[in-house]
Amino acid sequence: MRELATDTALWTDDVWVVDSTPIECGRFRETVNRSDLAGWAQYGCCASHKRYVWGLRLHLLCRLGGLPIAFALTGAKADERETLLDIFATEPTLVTDRPPGQTLIGDKHYFGRALRSGPG
């Protein structure tokens, strides 16, 4: 997918957007106990819906135009800031090959000293 993406005009965007969303996998206690995801899925807070969900969290790093760059699927309790740093650690070329003046936009869950001056 990345090979095709690098041939598009969107690939040269100097603005990246990062966010995550919960993926609800079940609502009932019986589902939690019987699911094949038990042990991997977690209870986590969904701030936008003001409730807890049992499931996973999809973290997405993309260009401003919507072109995906990288993603991660974690338990619902995963720290967004740590997950983003793990994405950068897994794919170091995202840090080393970025254009000068690169801007990363994320919500308050991504704020922290490790990301303030940029990863790497």
pLDDT, average across residues 72-94: 89
Does the residue 97 lie in any domain? yes
What per-residue string of b and e applies to 28-42 under the rule 16 or more CB within 10 Å gives b? eeeebeeeebeeebb
The residue ranking higher by pLDDT, 92 or 110, is 92
Number of domains in the chain: 1
Q: pTM of the prediction?
A: 0.76
Does the residue 68 lie in any domain? yes
pLDDT at site 83: 92
pLDDT tens digits along 7-62: 777 777 788 899 988 888 777 677 666 677 767 777 676 666 666 677 888 999 98
Q: What span, in angstroms and rounded, lies between the C-alpha atoms of 104 and 56?
A: 24
Does the residue 28 lie in any domain? yes
- φ, ψ of residue 29 to 5 degrees: the values are -55, -40
120 pLDDT band, cuts 50/70/90, is: very low
